[in-house]
Amino acid sequence: MAIAEPLAPHTTDALAGFGARPAYDGAGMRELAAWVDEIARLTQPDRIHWVSGSAEENAALIADMVASGTLIPLDAEKRPNSFLARSHPGDVARLESRTYICSEREEDAGPTNNWADPAQMRETLNPLFRGSMRGRTMFVVPFSMGKVGGPISQIGVQVTDSPYAVASIEIMTRVGDEVTRLIAEGADWVRTVHTVGAPLEPGQADVAWPCNDEKYIVHFPDTLEVWSFGSGYGGNAILAKKCFALRIASVLGRDQGWMAEHMLLIRVIDPAGRAYHVAAAFPSACGKTNLAMLRPTIPGWKVETLGDDITWIRPGADGRFHAINPEAGFFGVAPGTGASTNVTAVETLWGNVLFTNVALTDDGDVWWEGLTDETPAHLIDWQGQDWTPDAGRPAAHPNSRFTVAADQAPSIADDWEEAVPLDAILFGGRRATNVPLVVEAFDWEHGVFLGSTISSERTAAAEGTVGELRRDPFAMMPFCGYNMADYFGHWLDMGGKAEQLPRIFQVNWFRKGADGRFLWPGFGENSRVIDWIIRRLQGEVEAVPSAIGLLPVVADLDLDGIDVPAADLEELFEVAPTSWLAEAALTEEFYDTFGDRVPTALRAQLAALRERLESAKA
């Protein structure tokens, strides 16, 4: 097997001169090299390319994809150094049905994960991976989640035959020889293997994003491995992201005494210049990115972005929890992102962006639904077809994406790569009823209870029964690498690992009135809720005990400049005991799916909630 030559048939001369194995020595390097050779013998690539992470190498990689037709360059003036990729129509999203947790024991995966016996899964995967990189280059990508060598950082290596995946990993993580040096010196690392599963025959051109009809995204938590077959889509191919940073990292956190969470991370600065750090867990379509890039509408307040999707939390020597965003970029959903909803995100995308499955304008720029109020008269849609407003189909795929470096966001904090002390944790869902605009947990244990019950209501018959609750505790249902009941227990245990714990709040921007309209304006006005939360941390405002938690004194909310009728405010904070008792019954049903593994403390919290509701009802 050649180290860097000859070039694979589909590879241009752009990558010539790059890709040699780093000349590090040591037991760690020998172990890494042996593993790479083992994967190469299985997958049979034409060439092995060790990614150094240099700007010159990245430019050559991009040039190679442009030459092969994998990437379409955008207009250099309108969107400098930016490119469009189009996927196979059958490869456009994460595949939860094909995502597996292969723990040794099925009960350790739990009822919310797809489990398969690890030995049997390897027997399934080996024939699929055998020869799967034939005709391609196998890239070896060393990456760090968190700054290289940071106290909360973790490192890994991905081997892949997808140059698109390599370019994406280089945006989303820290890639380079510095990571390889840490491995050579003996640092622990996570092994990840990816192939699009579509070997090239001699003379075949690699002009499209390939994939395989058969797909597997498999996690081996006991050996800290990820194997992904058949998909080129970001979440299935950028294995450092959800696969490592949440599923595998959640297992590491459980075993090592820290937490890997599906949370944004922001710094909130009050008018006096005092800074507070807030992490927030929201399921999809619940305003997560908007909060990560919030522009407060009340004078004197400022929000700085630290992370938009994943947060790792560790106890610090100072008796507090400290948090980082382990990623280096944003992998955001394009549709719905526009100047009226998230101007900060739009400004972030001025250049140096890898777009996927958005539409192409006639002047060489990109467009998606929600980007502008005016729809272009003509576009090339995400499948490369002519499109007009009367086409009867979206121009951009609903899950189309942008991948961009985090430090391009105008809201990014100067020290965004550093660990910060955590002051508050927010949980939220999309709830039209029951859940108030904001409620504070009584204490850490009650806060864990709130996190375990996070859900969103289905809003249309096409999505299921209207009003039915879609459970997503801690916004981690698809991303927890082990039994979620044990995950609840880990959260409870973490409450004993710091002297000054973050305060926990639940928020709901989406409560509706009886007439179906939203009671709260949302977007930038959510800063008024953040204002109240920070003033609670400062001890400047009181809260009113209720059956479900601590509620604001409405007069303490800063509502200057917005018109929210008094009746709407009353409904925003209404706690109806009968409705909440019905919800408590649904929570018990949900807990029962985990059997006797649900922590006793959470069962006790549920019983206490029912007692408070019955008292309020009397």
| Residues with catalytic function | 286
Asked whether residue 399 is marked as a ligand-binding residue, the answer is yes
> Cα–Cα distance between 57 and 62 in angstroms, integer?
9
According to the annotation, is 288 in a ligand binding site?
yes
| CA separation, residue 478 to residues 95, 191, 294, 411, 419 (Å) | 10, 21, 26, 29, 26
Query: Is residue 526 marked as binding?
Result: yes
The span from the first CA to the last CA of the chain, in angstroms, equals 77
Q: For residue 289, say whether it is annotated as part of any ligand binding site.
A: yes
Whether 234 has a binding-site annotation, put simply, is yes
- What gap in Å lies between CA 283 and CA 263, rounded to an integer? 9
| 113 in a labelled binding site | no
> What DSSP string describes 165-208?
HHHHHHHHSEESHHHHHHHHTT---EEEEEE-S-PPPTT----S
Alpha-carbon gap, residue 140 to 75, rounded angstroms: 31
| Residue 233 labeled ligand binder | yes
**Residue 1, amino acid:** M
Q: Which helix (H) or strand (E) holds 506?
A: strand 503-507
Residue owning tokens 């040039």 = 63
Q: Which residues of 398-425 are buried (b: 16+ CB within 10 A; e: fewer)?
A: ebbbbbbbbebbebbbeebbebbbbbbb
149 labeled binding residue: no
Contact 294, 288 (CB under 8 A): no
Q: Tell me whether residue 31 is annotated as binding.
A: no
* Residue 600 CB contacts under 8 Å (≥ 6 apart), including other chains: none
Query: Is 262 labelled a binding residue?
Result: yes
- Are residues 531 and 298 in contact, defined by beta-carbon separation less than 8 angstroms? yes
Tell me: is residue 400 an annotated ligand-binding position. yes
- Hey, what's the torsion of the CAs at 239, 244, 248, 252, to 10 degrees? 160
- What stretch of H or E contains 70? none
Render 394-444 in DSSP notation, one character per residue. -SS-TT-EEEEEGGGSTTB-TTTTS-EE--EEEEE---SSSS-SEEE-SSH
> Which of 329, 317, 314 minimizes the C-alpha distance to 152?
314
Q: Annotation-wise, does 94 bind a ligand?
A: yes
Distance from C-alpha of 162 to C-alpha of 167, rounded to nearest angstrom: 9
Q: 235 a known binding residue?
A: yes
Q: What is the DSSP letter of 500?
A: B
576 marked as binding residue: no
Is 286 part of any known ligand binding site? yes
Which contiguous run of DSSP H or E holds residue 335? none
447 annotated to bind ligand: no
| Binding region for GTP | 285-290, 401, 430, 523-526
| Binding region | 94, 233-235, 242, 262, 284-290, 309, 399-401, 430, 523-526
| Binding region for substrate | 94, 233-235, 284, 399-401
| Binding region for Mn(2+) | 242, 262, 309
